[in-house]
Amino acid sequence: MNVAMFGAGVARRDGGFGPNFDHMALMVTLEDRWLADVGFGESFVEPQYRFTLQPYEFADYEGMCRFHQTSPESHFTNNEQPLSTQAEYDRLLRDSSASSYSRG
């Protein structure tokens, strides 16, 4: 098994994309290649991000990680839309002011 980390830019409401390393997608290679992503729940209903097949290391994500943890511009810290995601065995719940869904 081989796992490669890809830097990704998250889709914005205006149709554009955020900066690279705004999100991490994983390509897992077994007999076939698989895109593994737990960050958006039902992310393949609509495109949520774009990425290239350039692999990166954890250190490459440091700047955007710091931004998301500390910047008032980050949607994780600005309190405009509460965000909470909880994964459970064979069930996925996502709560926000905009939507709620479950699978199970």
- What's the pLDDT tens digit per position in 24-80? 989 999 999 998 876 665 555 666 888 999 999 999 999 999 998 899 888 778 766
List 55's β-bridge partners, or say none: 6
Would you give the distance in Å from CA 104 to the centre of its chain? Answer: 21
- pLDDT interval class at 100 (50, 70, 90): very low
pLDDT of residue 95: 43
Specify the amino acid at residue 35. L
pLDDT of residue 49: 84
Largest CA distance in the chain: 43
Q: What is the CATH number of domain 2-103?
A: 3.30.2140.20
Give the global pTM: 0.63
